[in-house]
Amino acid sequence: MARNILPAQRLEKRANTTEIPLPINVEASQYWDGADGPWSSFPLQVGTPAQNIRAFISTNGYTTWTVRPLGCPAGTITGCEESRGELFLTNQSLTWVPNSIFQLGLPNEMALGLDDEANYGFDTVTLGWQGSGLPTVQHSTIANMATFDFWLGTFGINPQPANFTTYTDPQPSFMTQLKNNNTIPSLSWGYTAGNQYRFSGVYGSLVLGGYDQSKFEPTNLTIPFGSDVSRDLLVGVQSITTGSAGLSNTSDAFYALIDSTVAELWLPESVCTAFENAFGLVYDEYYSRYIVNDTMHQSLLALNKSITLTLGQSNSGGQTVDITLPYAAMDLEISYPYVANSTRYFPLRRAANDTQYTLGRAFLQEAYVAADYERRNFTVAPCVWEQNSASDIRTILSTNFKNPNSGSGGISGGAIAGIVIGVLAIIAILAGALWFMRRKKQQKKHAAVELEAKSLAAAQTPSGPSSPVKEDPHAGISTPTGGELDSSRQIHEIAGASKPNAAEMDAPWRGELDAAGGHHEFYGKLPQNTFEMEGNNEPIFEMDATATQLHELEPDTRRQSWDSGDDRGDEKRYLQMQGY
């Protein structure tokens, strides 16, 4: 299939997370309608309350055409309303907003001499029958017509807006409103007209916002829209053949518009002459058609010739595709109002000039067209015929979305710059993180060193509320202190350890043995005999809260006790010793 057509599951919205809608598969009405076919029609609900009508698909139209009561005047054929796909009665719709009377105004149809006026207005239009669950569009543009040029109404799938008196107030098409309402994924469609001659009838297929892959053979042919917006589905017809006979050659190549609004193939007169010779056709000047009588019909059935159209982007060279029409595709019936009596006819019309070259519904019986109005290109492919095959609906990508799996062979400069900036940012972040971690680790290391130093210092210089006298660096030897009450004598006291189980034995001389045994309490020379109790006796605390006496050593190295009149005097003296 064409390069621009992508599966729905690969799409994602740019810059936001808006959900991508699925394509809409519009089921055919299962009626065969028309006065020049018959053709597979599609159901619509118009107005409020809804009125059911049947219409043909118009690949060139951008509004909805309905038939008004004047389209079936008194004295016309029996069952006119049913034959025309039912009428739309605007006076019975609560939501009808009238505009004015204008021409139908499709440029290609005007070039073919098919135009008339219609009552224009706005109303609610819903796809499908009641209960189908298909979408509704409010204030959709409707042309309510009475002309016989178009026997049934049409549903336009071209997204071009409608302009009435000026170009300053364009009215959005049905397709554009669906897209604006996020009902379809893109301004695109896939369509084939269906036919009655295969499998007892194959109904038409219409997908809005995508296409049905099961209906055609994929091709590599993608054709850009024509420069004239009114003839956008313009294709190069490089040749037409039937069997071994050529109906046109390179010198006769031409461009033609694919337009399902009309039924026939409008071809150059030289090509029509070649058809006459190959099929024995007779042109009816009165009806301007090739009427086929019963004798000729039997002869054509016996010949059973097929017609192959070779199409391309241009009228010569390049990629091409062949669309083959069996004779059954050209074996149609025509009736009132185009002829007085129903008869068979060959759907070929003589075109007066190149503005009339058109491939109508007869061509689309065997061809599938997928058009993308956002990229302005389309694909033409031959239909495949598999009875009871399941639909394979695919989404056509909108230009507002991107395919995350798609990409070109190289990387753009902007992408490279973005990658470089991203890499530099990552490097900077990593460098900063490493510096921070290193700094934090060093801080922890310094803190640990300081803590260890403080702990060592605390271990070497113990102090606390239970140590009233500071110790000097001499391994716990007490220092001389001033006497109490202005005494000229010095008072000495062993520095008390804070260990609760430390105990000392009374002796005339006091001393403590350090690890080396070389330090003594006093600075003078003392006897070498030292005494120490076992550590498992009852604990004795240096300052018990219940003590009533404090002992003091005389300068001659003997301990004496203070005489005190009461406990309160002892307490006062003790506090003075502590420096309070």
Which residues does 552 contact at the CB level (< 8 Å), separation at least 6? Answer: 491, 493, 559, 560, 561, 562
Q: Which two tokens stand for residue 271?
A: 């090509």
Sign of CA dihedral 87, 88, 93, 99: negative
**Can you spell out the DSSP letters for 360-377?**
-TTGGGSEEEEEETTTTE
Q: Please choose, from the candidates 294, 302, 251, 297, the residue with its C-alpha nearest in 3D space to the C-alpha of residue 274.
A: 251
- Phi and psi at 3, nearest 5°, equal -65, -30
Please state which of the ranges 12-26, 219-233, 465-479 shows the lowest mean pLDDT: 465-479
Q: Which two tokens stand for residue 249?
A: 């050659």
Question: In the predicted model, what is the mean pLDDT of residues 183-196?
Answer: 98
DSSP code for 104: -
Q: How far is CA 566 from CA 549, 550, 559, in A?
A: 9, 12, 20
Containing 497, the helix (H) or strand (E) segment is none
Containing 410, the helix (H) or strand (E) segment is none
pLDDT digits (tens, 9 = 90+) for 103-147: 999 999 999 999 999 999 999 999 999 999 999 999 999 999 999
Predicted TM-score (pTM) of the model is: 0.69
Q: 229: helix, coil or strand?
A: helix
pLDDT computed for residue 253 by the predictor: 93
pLDDT digits (tens, 9 = 90+) for 421-459: 776 778 878 877 777 777 777 776 666 656 666 666 555
pLDDT computed for residue 466 by the predictor: 43
Q: Please choose, from the candidates 41, 24, 43, 19, the residue with its C-alpha nearest in 3D space to the C-alpha of residue 32.
A: 41
Q: Which domains does the chain have, with CATH numbers?
A: 1-23+187-405 (2.40.70.10), 28-183 (2.40.70.10), 464-580 (no CATH)
Percent with pLDDT over 90 in the chain: 61
Q: Please choose, from the candidates 462, 342, 474, 401, the residue with its C-alpha nearest in 3D space to the C-alpha of residue 187.
A: 401
Question: In the predicted model, what is the mean pLDDT of residues 359-383?
Answer: 98
What is the distance between the alpha carbons of residues 351 and 348, in angstroms, rounded to a whole number? 9
**Can you spell out the DSSP letters for 157-202?**
---PPB-SS-SSSPBPPHHHHHHHTTSSSSSEEEEE--BSSSTT-B
What is the distance between the alpha carbons of residues 456 and 143, in angstroms, rounded to a whole number? 102
Please determine, for residue 518, whether its predicted confidence score (pLDDT) is greater than 80. no
pLDDT digits (tens, 9 = 90+) for 45-103: 999 999 999 999 999 999 999 999 999 999 889 999 999 999 999 999 999 999 999 99
Please state which of the ranges 96-110, 170-184, 309-323, 389-403 shows the lowest mean pLDDT: 389-403
Strand partners, 264: none
Which residues does 335 contact at the CB level (< 8 Å), separation at least 6? Answer: 35, 36, 341, 342, 343
pLDDT computed for residue 47 by the predictor: 98
pLDDT computed for residue 421 by the predictor: 74
For residue 38, whether the previous peptide bond is cis, meaning omega lies within 30 degrees of 0, is: yes
Could you tell me if 370 and 378 are in contact, meaning their C-beta atoms sit under 8 angstroms apart?
Answer: yes
pLDDT band at 202 (very low <50, low <70, confident <90, very high): very high
**Which burial class, exposed, middle or buried, applies to 68 when counting CB atoms under 10 A from its CB (0-12, 13-18, 19+)?**
middle
Q: Please choose, from the candidates 81, 65, 85, 73, the residue with its C-alpha nearest in 3D space to the C-alpha of residue 125.
A: 65
pLDDT band at 249 (very low <50, low <70, confident <90, very high): confident
pLDDT computed for residue 433 by the predictor: 76
Q: Please choose, from the candidates 481, 496, 494, the residue with its C-alpha nearest in 3D space to the C-alpha of residue 543.
A: 496
pLDDT computed for residue 452 by the predictor: 63
pLDDT band at 213 (very low <50, low <70, confident <90, very high): very high
